[in-house]
Amino acid sequence: MPAFPALTRRHCHRLLGAAALGGLLPALGACAAGSGGGAPGYTVSRQRLNEWLARSFPVTRGLLGGLAELTLASPRLNLLPASNRIATALDLVLVERLSGTRHTGGLDLDCGLRLDLPEGVVRMADVQVNRLSIDRLPPAQQALVSQVAPGIAEQLLQNLVLYRVPAEQLALARSLGWTHTALRVLPDGLRIEPGPAVAR
Same domain, 53 and 19: no
Contact 76, 87 (CB under 8 A): no
- Mean per-residue pLDDT, 119-143: 90
Total domains present in the chain: 2
The amino acid occupying position 32 is: A
Query: How far is residue 95 from each of residues 139, 147, 150, measured CA to CA in Å?
Result: 16, 17, 16
Same domain, 11 and 50: no
Same domain, 158 and 68: yes
Going by pLDDT thresholds of 50, 70 and 90, the confidence category of residue 67 is confident
Per residue in 23-60, pLDDT (tens digit) is 333 443 443 343 334 446 789 999 999 999 999 999 99
Same domain, 81 and 134: yes
Contact 7, 31 (CB under 8 A): yes
Same domain, 12 and 96: no
Same domain, 118 and 32: no
Weakest mean pLDDT among 3-12, 138-147, 186-195: 3-12
Range of the structural domain that residue 34 is part of: 1-40
Give residue 143's pLDDT: 83
- Mean per-residue pLDDT, 164-188: 84
Give residue 46's pLDDT: 97
Does the pLDDT of residue 129 top 60, yes or no?
Answer: yes
Same domain, 10 and 90: no
- Mean per-residue pLDDT, 124-130: 96
Same domain, 78 and 148: yes
Q: Give the whole-angstrom CA distance, residue 169 versus residue 105.
A: 39
Residue 135 neighbours by CB under 8 Å, 6+ apart: 103, 104, 105
Report the chain's terminal Cα–Cα distance, integer Å: 14
Same domain, 50 and 32: no
Mean pLDDT of the chain, nearest integer = 80
Q: Give the whole-angstrom CA distance, residue 23 versus residue 167.
A: 12
Q: What percentage of the chain reaches a pLDDT higher than 90?
A: 42
170 within a domain of the structure (yes/no): no
Radius of gyration for the chain, computed over Cα atoms and rounded to the nearest angstrom: 21
Per residue in 92-115, pLDDT (tens digit) is 999 989 999 999 999 999 999 998
pTM: 0.73
Give residue 199's pLDDT: 54
Strands (E), the chain: 42-45, 59-63, 68-80, 85-96, 102-116, 121-134, 161-164, 180-186, 189-195
Same domain, 30 and 91: no
